[in-house]
């Protein structure tokens, strides 16, 4: 297939066979991932064998994501510390690669604003009133302009509002909360932050302190925790703010050792966090100023409800978004009445940047179709989603035996294996990643050009929302991507909503889905049964609040805002389906509210599927 972007191939059979082992593969593993190669010239790198036996040995030490270096602040620095070129390179990459994101055009993206307070969006990072160190770091990241959601969240959070944000996948939500929260704290860190030891003279057992973070960010998976930690490391560069991350699967003592050096920004998975919270000498939340729950719907689906309630009892919040129905009481209970809500696109909607192709393939045909696809779109970073751990293992073996550079991730793997898989995928050594849906939630890897739903998510376990999250691993931040889904007989229940989702973003509808295309008025005003969107009536203080339409016709533009009823909302325990609870070993004990509670101050809260 010469050009997958213009291939009007929804539902069409993949062009002729070429099934079988890929052809000559003589490319070096370090060769950069190139664009789409013709079938006759596959560009996959050589597969690299992973030594699981060595990895399982006690002496194996590859380091953890949580061990990554952060800026070492010294008391004698003024407001902003000196540059460390070596660390700068590690954090931000080669200068020539930083501007990759620049110049993206978001002008067509509408933001709806709701709530009692009207927020004027900022136009540029420069006019946002950010701390100079933050401005420098944003520039080092290569960000020229704020994304639409950032234009609203930055002033809102700087002004002290709680925020609920709902935005499409890959729209820069992490930076939308990190930039304003961290910038706000930068000027006050010396006053607010707990005393901490000098990193250069630190002595274990002598200089240790209790971690007293100012910001707590709770996320459902270990991979997402590490990813957000890495973003926080960038934004905290040259400042006193010290980020840390804790998650299951890494020996507890190793993470305690990190916390005892002091921590201002703590990112973690619920189980490990509640575990530490119940050890007040290790972690206390008494200084907490901001809390963010990222991908809250996923956490609630994974049955972290009890842990989350415990965490929320800490009493401070920043952002809240994308709560599933049935848990909107959380918003009512914890958000300030004056919170603001932003919405970029319909909750659960996808972007036109992603070309969505649906192919009919029954179970016994899937492997052949997959091989053809991988040959036709060779050499590009690809994520393949499956619905079970067993399928992930089987497919990994199969593709590896076909000499494809594949790796895989799911919750039965040890944490070392999970981190090795992500490293391989990010570095390009293994540009094909097989994942169960939950483990890949929220992961952001550059240049993922192709997402394949080898299995479509079933209605009970995620349905169309899970589909949206999955395909959102490509087409991020204004880039383009392609998503190919294998549709089999058992996916019938998804057919109607899938068809409407395709129509919403002007995709081709394959022949076998034509009967699900709504007619007449229903075709013009597509309706979606349910999403995990907010119902304004459910949110204390905001109900009846004025709806602002900052971008002209934006507010209320789609008839779907507010929570719909019933339908295909998340069906509960996603983990049971994929077997992927985001972390065996994550579980902490619950009960016993040892949260420091009400740090008071600038309360703000966050949750949801940012
Ligand atoms: N203003 C900006 N300009 C350019 N790139 C940006 C900007 N803000 C964030 N990014 C980049 O966009 C990418 C996607 O951001 P992020 O992972 O926060 O998206 P997201 O909205 O949380 O997506 P998802 O919901 O799928 O997890 C990241 O690589 C980030 O570095």
Tens digits of residue pLDDT in 363-420: 999 999 999 999 999 889 999 999 999 999 999 999 999 999 999 999 888 888 888 8
Pick the range with the lowest mean pLDDT from 35-49, 176-190, 225-239, 542-556: 542-556
pLDDT at 558: 30
Q: pLDDT category, 425, cuts 50, 70, 90?
A: very high
Q: Would you kindly state where each structural domain of the chain is located, as residue ranges?
A: 9-53+350-524, 65-101+112-347+535-552
Please compute the mean of the pLDDT values over residues 476-492 and round it to a whole number: 89
pLDDT at 601: 33
CB of 168 sitting under 6 A from ligand 1: no
ipTM of the complex: 0.97
Share above pLDDT 70 across residues of the chain, in percent, rounded to a whole number? 68
CB of 608 sitting under 6 A from ligand 1: no
Distance CA 195, CA 197 (A): 7
45-77 pLDDT, tens digit each: 777 766 666 665 656 566 788 888 899 888 888
Please compute the mean of the pLDDT values over residues 130-146 and round it to a whole number: 95
β-sheet bridge partners, residue 603? none
pLDDT at 557: 29
Distance CA 83, CA 446 (A): 26
Q: pLDDT category, 348, cuts 50, 70, 90?
A: low
Same fold, 9-53+350-524 and 65-101+112-347+535-552: yes
CB of 173 sitting under 6 A from ligand 1: yes
Spatial neighbors of 524 by CB under 8 A, at least 6 apart, are none
Residue predicted with more confidence, 152 or 353: 152
Query: Any alpha helices (H) in 459-610, and if so which ranges?
Result: 463-471, 495-504, 521-524, 574-578
Please compute the mean of the pLDDT values over residues 211-240 and round it to a whole number: 94
Please compute the mean of the pLDDT values over residues 547-575 and round it to a whole number: 30
Which ligand 1 atom is the nearest neighbour of the CA of 473? 26
Q: pLDDT category, 100, cuts 50, 70, 90?
A: low
Residue predicted with more confidence, 340 or 389: 389
Mutate to test the pocket of ligand 1, among 100, 102, 166, 174 (most ligand atoms within 8 A of CB): 174
CB of 171 sitting under 6 A from ligand 1: yes
Residue predicted with more confidence, 455 or 606: 455
Spatial neighbors of 291 by CB under 8 A, at least 6 apart, are 215, 216, 217, 218, 311, 312, 314, 316, 317, 318, 604, 605, 606
Return the CATH number of 9-53+350-524, one of 3.40.50.1360, 3.90.1150.10, 3.40.50.300, 3.90.1720.10: 3.40.50.300
Q: pLDDT category, 5, cuts 50, 70, 90?
A: very low
Q: Please work out, in degrees rounded to the nearest 5, the angle formed at the alpha carbon of residue 172 by the alpha carbons of 167 and 175.
A: 120
Contact at 8 Å (CB) between 264 and 575?
Answer: no
Please compute the mean of the pLDDT values over residues 292-315 and round it to a whole number: 71
Please compute the mean of the pLDDT values over residues 77-81 and round it to a whole number: 87
Check whether 94 has a pLDDT greater than 90.
no
Return the CATH number of 65-101+112-347+535-552, one of 1.10.10.60, 3.40.50.300, 2.40.128.20, 3.20.20.70: 3.40.50.300
Ramachandran angles phi, psi of 561, nearest 5°: -70, 155
Share above pLDDT 90 across residues of the chain, in percent, rounded to a whole number? 37
The total of other beta-carbon atoms located within 10 Å of residue 108's CB is 7
Nearest to 29 by CA among 378, 409, 397, 431: 431
Please compute the mean of the pLDDT values over residues 476-489 and round it to a whole number: 88
Nearest to 295 by CA among 392, 205, 411, 167: 167
Mutate to test the pocket of ligand 1, among 130, 167, 172, 347 (most ligand atoms within 8 A of CB): 172
Residue predicted with more confidence, 319 or 303: 303
Ligand 1 midpoint to CA 475 (Å): 11
Q: pLDDT category, 162, cuts 50, 70, 90?
A: confident
β-sheet bridge partners, residue 164? 341
pLDDT at 447: 84
- As a dihedral over the C-alpha atoms of residue 67, residue 70, residue 74, residue 77, rounded to 10 degrees, the angle is 180
User: Which residue is it, tokens 């179970």?
Assistant: 363
Angle between helices 252-259 and 270-277 (to 10 degrees): 70
Element (H, E) at 548: strand 547-548
β-sheet bridge partners, residue 384? 434, 452
Check whether 86 has a pLDDT greater than 80.
yes
Ligand 1 midpoint to CA 533 (Å): 20
Residue predicted with more confidence, 495 or 79: 495
When the pLDDT of each residue in the chain is averaged and rounded to a whole number, the result is 75
pLDDT at 141: 94
Please compute the mean of the pLDDT values over residues 328-333 and round it to a whole number: 64
Ligand 1 midpoint to CA 14 (Å): 32
CB of 165 sitting under 6 A from ligand 1: no
CB of 223 sitting under 6 A from ligand 1: no
Contact at 8 Å (CB) between 215 and 316?
Answer: no
Please compute the mean of the pLDDT values over residues 32-37 and round it to a whole number: 35
CB of 227 sitting under 6 A from ligand 1: no
Ligand 1 midpoint to CA 114 (Å): 23
Ligand 1: residue whose CA is nearest its atom 9: 172
Residue predicted with more confidence, 396 or 319: 396
Residue predicted with more confidence, 381 or 44: 381
pLDDT at 322: 52
Contact at 8 Å (CB) between 36 and 380?
Answer: yes
Nearest to 44 by CA among 407, 583, 435, 414: 407
The dihedral through the CA atoms of 326, 330, 333, 337 has a sign that is: negative
pLDDT at 337: 67
Q: How far is CA 275 from CA 220, 307, 393, 590, in A?
A: 15, 10, 31, 8
Residue predicted with more confidence, 143 or 311: 143
CB of 68 sitting under 6 A from ligand 1: no
Mutate to test the pocket of ligand 1, among 148, 170, 478 (most ligand atoms within 8 A of CB): 170
> Which range in 307-321, 369-383, 460-474 is most confidently predicted, on average pLDDT?
369-383
> Which range in 109-118, 452-461, 553-562 is most confidently predicted, on average pLDDT?
452-461
pTM above 0.90, yes or no: no
Nearest to 382 by CA among 441, 453, 439: 453
Ligand 1: residue whose CA is nearest its atom 13: 172
CB of 345 sitting under 6 A from ligand 1: no
Ramachandran quadrant class, 388 (left: phi over 0; alpha: psi -120 to 50; beta: rest): beta
Please compute the mean of the pLDDT values over residues 156-185 and round it to a whole number: 87
Three-class secondary structure of residue 497 per DSSP: helix
Q: pLDDT category, 459, cuts 50, 70, 90?
A: confident
Q: How far is CA 454 from CA 9, 417, 478, 574, 600, in A?
A: 17, 22, 25, 17, 48
């Amino acid at each position: 297939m010469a050009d997958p972007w213009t291939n009007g191939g929804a539902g069409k059979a993949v062009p002729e066979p070429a099934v079988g082992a890929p052809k000559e593969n003589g490319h070096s593993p370090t060769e950069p991932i190139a664009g789409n190669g013709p079938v006759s010239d596959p560009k996959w790198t050589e597969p690299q064998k992973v030594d699981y036996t060595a990895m399982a040995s006690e002496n194996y030490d590859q380091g953890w994501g949580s061990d990554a270096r952060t800026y070492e602040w010294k008391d004698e620095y003024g407001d902003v510390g000196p540059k460390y070129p070596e660390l700068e390179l590690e954090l931000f990459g080669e200068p020539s690669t930083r501007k990759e994101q620049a110049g993206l055009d978001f002008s067509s993206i509408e933001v709806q604003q709701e709530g009692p307070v009207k927020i004027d969006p900022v136009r540029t990072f420069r006019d946002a009133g950010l701390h100079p160190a933050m401005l420098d770091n944003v520039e080092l990241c290569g960000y020229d302009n704020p994304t639409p959601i950032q234009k609203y969240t930055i002033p809102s959070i700087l002004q002290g509002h709680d925020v609920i944000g709902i935005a499409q996948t890959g729209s820069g939500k992490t930076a939308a909360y990190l930039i304003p929260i961290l910038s706000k704290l930068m000027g006050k860190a010396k006053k607010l932050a707990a005393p901490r030891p000098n990193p250069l003279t630190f002595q274990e057992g002598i200089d240790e302190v209790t971690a007293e973070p100012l910001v707590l960010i709770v996320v459902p998976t270990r991979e997402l925790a590490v990813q957000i930690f890495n973003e926080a490391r960038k934004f905290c560069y040259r400042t006193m703010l010290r980020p840390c991350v804790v998650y299951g699967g890494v020996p507890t003592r190793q993470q305690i050792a990190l916390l005892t050096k002091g921590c201002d920004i703590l990112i973690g998975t619920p189980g490990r966090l509640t575990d530490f919270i119940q050890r007040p000498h290790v972690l206390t939340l008494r200084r907490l100023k901001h809390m963010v729950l990222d991908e809250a719907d996923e956490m609630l689906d994974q049955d972290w409800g009890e842990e989350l309630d415990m965490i929320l009892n800490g009493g401070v919040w920043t952002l809240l978004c994308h709560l599933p129905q049935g848990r909107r009481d959380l918003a009512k209970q914890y958000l300030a009445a004056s919170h603001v809500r932003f919405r970029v696109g319909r909750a659960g909607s996808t972007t036109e940047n992603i070309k969505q192709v649906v192919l009919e393939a029954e179970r016994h045909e899937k492997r052949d179709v997959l091989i053809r696809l991988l040959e036709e779109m060779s050499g590009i970073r690809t994520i393949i989603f499956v619905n079970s751990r067993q399928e992930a293992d089987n497919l990994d073996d199969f593709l590896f035996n076909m000499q494809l550079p594949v790796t895989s991730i799911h919750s039965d793997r040890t944490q070392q294996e999970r981190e090795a898989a992500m490293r391989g995928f990010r570095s390009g050594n293994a540009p094909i990643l097989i994942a169960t849906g939950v483990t890949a939630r929220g992961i952001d890897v550059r240049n993922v050009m192709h997402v394949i739903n080898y299995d479509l998510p079933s209605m009970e376990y995620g349905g169309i929302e899970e589909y949206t999250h999955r395909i959102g691993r490509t087409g991020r931040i204004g880039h383009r991507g392609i998503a190919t889904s294998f549709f089999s007989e058992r996916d019938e229940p998804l057919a109607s909503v899938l068809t409407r989702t395709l129509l919403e973003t002007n995709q081709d509808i394959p022949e076998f889905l034509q009967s699900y295309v709504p007619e007449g008025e229903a075709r013009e005003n597509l309706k979606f049964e349910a999403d995990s969107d907010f119902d304004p009536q459910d949110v204390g203080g905001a109900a009846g609040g004025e709806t602002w339409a900052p971008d002209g016709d934006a507010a209320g533009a789609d008839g779907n805002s507010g929570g719909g009823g019933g339908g295909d909302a998340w069906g509960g325990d996603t983990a049971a389906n994929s077997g992927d609870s985001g972390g065996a070993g994550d579980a902490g004990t619950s009960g016993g509210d040892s949260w420091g509670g009400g740090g008071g101050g600038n309360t703000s809260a966050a949750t949801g599927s940012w």
